Structure 1
Amino acid sequence: MANVRFAPILRASVGGSKQVAAQGNTLGEVLADLFERYPTLKQQIQPDNELSRFINIYVNDQDVRYLQGLETVVGANDTVILLPAMAGGR
């Protein structure tokens, strides 16, 4: 199982956990496993079956936008990080 880490703002959707294990051979399968267990997470990560442009997703510190997106291979010892994009300032 891959380890999935959550930014603090997403932790309420996963019962306050910083990290959970998820099954799947691709990022899409890992996310599907998460969404089955934590349905409110889907609206934040993948509304309308597309990855939100406001969430950065990394597999082993590599941005999936530069890999294969939802088809990115995820191994049993890999780490997936879900990190909302930050904006603001003056």
Structure 2
Amino acid sequence: MAEEEARSVTVVVPSLLAKVMDDQRELQVGLEEPATVAGVLDRLAADYPVFGRRVRNELGDIRRYVNLYVDGEDIRGLDGTGTHLRPGQELLIIQSVAGG
């Protein structure tokens, strides 16, 4: 298990998304080279299709109310979904919640 974690990123999701991911708030996702945010999202969407639809639209773009951060940095200020990932990094997914 430790070897697997050494080649993976930690994906942290909000409780609303965790409900469609077997109630997991934190997942270890193994990396394939070259590892990108898009690749990690593809792997998660393959295992959790509802997750995929809630995070990306039909064109594959990140939905406007979803924010992704790699080690605390917004991917919009990096290379978007093309942002490269290294083992041990954290991908945080946050959904904006509207209300009033």
- The TM-score with structure 1 as length reference comes to 0.92
Residue 77 of structure 2 corresponds to which residue in structure 1?
Answer: 66
The amino acid across from 2:57 in the alignment is P
Residue 34 of structure 1 corresponds to which residue in structure 2?
Answer: 44
Aligned residues: 89
> Counting helix residues as a fraction of each chain, which structure ranks higher?
1
Moved over 4 A (4+): none
Question: 1:23 Cα deviation (Å)?
Answer: 2.9
What do residues 9-58 of structure 1 show as CA deviations (whole Å, max 9, x unaligned)? 11111100110111331000010111111111011101211110110100
What do residues 57-88 of structure 1 show as CA deviations (whole Å, max 9, x unaligned)? 00000000111011001111000011001333
Which structure has the greater CA radius of gyration? Answer: 2
Q: Is the 8 A contact 1:23 1:29 kept in 2?
A: no
Match status 1:51 vs 2:65: no
Unaligned runs of 5+ residues in structure 2 are 1-7
What is the CA RMSD across the aligned residues, in angstroms? 1.0
The amino acid across from 2:22 in the alignment is G
Q: Is the 8 A contact 1:23 1:33 kept in 2?
A: no
Residue 22 of structure 1 corresponds to which residue in structure 2?
Answer: 29
Rounded to whole Å, the distance in 2 between the matches of 1:39 and 1:23 is: 18
